[in-house]
Amino acid sequence: MGLSAGLVPPRVDAGVKAGLLDLVEHAVAAGWSARRAAATLGVDHVRVLRWAARAAGHGGHGPQGRVLALADARPGPVPGEALHALLDWEKSAIVKVAEDWGEIDRSHRKLAHRASRLDLVHMSESSVLRVLTQAGIHLPEPGPRQRRPARAWPEWAELVPGVVYIYDFTHFPRSGACAVAVMDVVSRYWLATVVSAQESSTQVEVAFTRALIADGKDHLLDDLLLSELASGAVPDRDELPVLLAISDNGPQMTSRATAAFMASVRIGQHFGRPSTPNDQAWIESLFGHVKGEHPHLERIGDAGDLEAELDRVRSFYNTTRLHQGIGYVTPEDEHTGRGEAIRAARRAGLAAAQQARVATRRQLRQDHP
């Protein structure tokens, strides 16, 4: 049978396996235990049991059938394919899912989950993309959104400090409050802030009242207007606006109450394009810098403490922090008209320093020829 003395090597052909099984069975029939017989033959008992199970499971009847059942399968994957490669029916199934659901899902990731949801085929998202690419299937993509033309500012709104304001709300979830800030667009001067648990036209009115007072325009809030506002009635006025307020299209900005208040204090309204944050880039930049440079604000849990800290940050922002967008002066410098003088002084200082360096090196060259 090809058997030799010594331990059975790790890999033997089907004939040797069949011969060893016959010897073990013969020894068991003679009263030996299968374990003892296997040890005597130099083969592990577990291997013998595994061979016997394979022969019985594959219908190995008779000597020739047993040999065929014990033959080792060809090692490794199918030639040209990985062992875990997708089957042909799986590829066809995902192509069918793409044909049926491609217009709805429009994503190979969604199609992978759709196929599992329908219990048709289960494969990874990257495998779905690979199958669709091989099949030449391109999922439909949404067309570009039609760009809306920018809304021009009114001709009377001069680009000088104190004419164009911008405002918006930002949220501080830890304190359960939101803040509305009013800022001058040209000078970047942060005029006022109101912190509240609500986000309505009332907060807008309070914020602009504070902003007008802070900007020295409290004459627009005459005594008659203040008394009418205190009584809950907002008068309608037809005078030409002297200020412009820029905002997005939030309900508290577009409400009738806000419109009536703005008209009463001679402030015109200008709304940015929907879904276009760049139209309010100045106020978005303010919130980004304030929260990024003062992260402790978002850890404050009390709304009163938050408003007090925002007032402190506002003072720092206006009087100390140099602003890149206005030529590295403070917003207070720009708002009060000192900005251009400071920038001119720097330009003059740079020119003088350059001339001093040239003169110094020329003198050094003459002193050390």
CATH of domain 164-335: 3.30.420.10
- How far from the centroid of its chain's Cα atoms is residue 235's Cα? 45
From CA 181, how far away is CA 251, in angstroms rounded?
16
Averaged over successive runs of 10 residues, the pLDDT of the chain (369 residues) comes to 62 84 88 89 87 75 76 67 84 94 92 94 94 93 78 87 95 94 96 94 93 91 61 56 92 91 90 88 94 94 94 95 92 94 93 90 80
Does this model's pTM top 0.75? no
From CA 203, how far away is CA 199, in angstroms rounded?
7
Contacts for 262 with CB less than 8 Å, ≥ 6 apart: 208, 245, 268, 269
pLDDT value of residue 218? 86
Question: What is the dihedral sign for C-alpha 327, 331, 335, 336?
Answer: negative
The domain limits of the chain are 14-70, 88-134, 164-335
pLDDT value of residue 1? 42
Other C-beta atoms closer than 10 Å to the C-beta of 267 total 19
For the chain, what's the residue count? 369
From CA 18, how far away is CA 62, in angstroms rounded?
10
Other C-beta atoms closer than 10 Å to the C-beta of 222 total 12
Neighbouring C-alpha atoms within 13 Å toward the C-beta of 364: 6
pLDDT value of residue 192? 96
From CA 158, how far away is CA 154, in angstroms rounded?
9
Please report, for residues 163, 300, 325, 335, the alpha-carbon distance to residue 339 in angstroms, rounded to integers and kept in the order given.
17, 34, 12, 8
Neighbouring C-alpha atoms within 13 Å toward the C-beta of 84: 3
Q: What is the DSSP letter of 235?
A: -
Question: What is the dihedral sign for C-alpha 230, 236, 240, 241?
Answer: positive
Q: In the chain, which ranges are continuous DSSP H helix?
A: 14-29, 34-41, 45-57, 62-70, 88-105, 108-117, 125-134, 201-214, 223-230, 251-254, 256-264, 281-293, 303-319, 331-335, 339-367
